Structure formats: C-alpha cells, structure tokens
C-alpha cells in the first residue's frame, strides 16, 4: 500500500480487532500471573501449617511417650518394693491403663473391618447357595435378583444387569 493512500474500511476493522485481541491477551496473561502468585502463596501457607501441625503432633507424642515411660518406671518401682507404696495410687494407675486398653480395643475401625469381613463371608455363602440352587435345578423364582444376575452372567446372558427379576427368570428358563 502506498504511504499516502487511505487504509480501506476492512483494514481498519482488522487492525482494531487485532488491537482488541492483544489487549485481551495481555489481560488474561496478567490474571494468570496473579493466579499463579496466589497459588504459590497458598501452597507456601499450607506447607507452613503442615509443618506446624507436624511439630505439634510430634511434641504431643513425645510428651505422651515420656509420661508412659514415667508411669512404667513408677509401677516397676512399686513392684520391686513389694507393693509397699501407696496402693490406691497403684490401683488407680492400673485402672487407667486398663481403661485405655479397653478403649483401644473398641475402635470403630476394627468393628467396621469385622463387619465387612462378615459381609464378605455372607456373600460367599450366598454365591455358593446360588450355584447349588441353579445346579440342582431349583426354582429361579425363589432366587434374589442378585443371585439371578449371577446365574445369568454364568450362562452368558447378554444385558442381564438391566433386566428385572421376571425377565431374568424367563430368560434363564425358570
């Protein structure tokens, strides 16, 4: 284009659009940099909080361990002395220890694990019952949907997971 020539209308619109896009890109880049700084600051704060909590927990564990060692030493000393020390203190300490042990045994996590193990055993028995019922030519109508689906899977029935009980019974031939 010549130096003295006027730019066309399209050329003016294109330049304006390019300018708008450059401005939008600069704004987005600025927001991205700010977000990155904020994320770095948050990560640093989280790391500090974790270090602080870890130190506090370690300190509490050390204090608990030290108290337990002192209690053990005191109890050993009273045993060596033939129990001649203050028996009420020794009995109270023994009760505290027994209470802690009892509480530790009644952990909800252990109960849940035990229940899950029992549930697994029950499911295993149910699967055996399904195989036995199906193998012995028992009535499919008396089986549960889960048992029917298992039998359908074993027989290679397509789409068994979406079928109702009546559909499963009829498809299995019962």
Whole-prediction pTM value? Answer: 0.35
Q: Within this chain, do residues 76 and 12 fall inside the same structural domain, yes or no?
A: yes
Average pLDDT over residues 162-172: 91
- Contacts of residue 173, defined as CB under 8 A and 6 or more positions apart, other chains included, come to 140
- Structural domain including 160 reads 115-174
64, pLDDT greater than 70:
yes
For 118-141, how does the pLDDT look when each residue is reduced to its tens digit (9 = 90+)? 444 444 444 444 454 444 456 888
In a domain, 3, yes or no: no
122 vs 20: which has the higher pLDDT = 20
As for how many domains the chain has, the answer is 2
In a domain, 110, yes or no: no
In a domain, 62, yes or no: yes
pLDDT for 138:
62
| pLDDT bucket at 106, cuts 50 / 70 / 90 | very low
- Contacts of residue 165, defined as CB under 8 A and 6 or more positions apart, other chains included, come to 145, 148
34 vs 116: which has the higher pLDDT = 34
In a domain, 68, yes or no: yes
Q: Within this chain, do residues 120 and 54 fall inside the same structural domain, yes or no?
A: no
């Amino acid at each position: 284009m010549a130096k003295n020539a006027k730019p066309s209308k399209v050329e003016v619109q294109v330049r304006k659009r390019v300018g708008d896009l450059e401005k939008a890109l600069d704004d987005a880049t600025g927001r991205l940099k700010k977000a990155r700084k904020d994320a770095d600051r948050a990560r640093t704060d989280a790391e500090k909080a974790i270090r602080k909590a870890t130190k506090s927990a370690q300190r509490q564990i050390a204090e608990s361990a030290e108290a337990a060692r002192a209690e053990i030493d005191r109890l050993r000393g009273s045993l060596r002395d033939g129990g001649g020390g203050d028996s009420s203190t020794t009995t109270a300490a023994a009760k505290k220890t027994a209470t802690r042990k009892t509480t530790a045994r009644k952990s909800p996590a252990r109960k849940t694990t035990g229940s899950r193990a029992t549930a697994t055993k029950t499911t295993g028995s149910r699967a055996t019952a399904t195989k036995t019922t199906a193998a012995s030519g028992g009535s499919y109508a008396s089986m549960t949907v889960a048992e029917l689906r298992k039998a359908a899977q074993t027989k290679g029935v397509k789409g068994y997971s979406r079928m109702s009980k009546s559909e499963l019974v009829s498809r299995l031939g019962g």
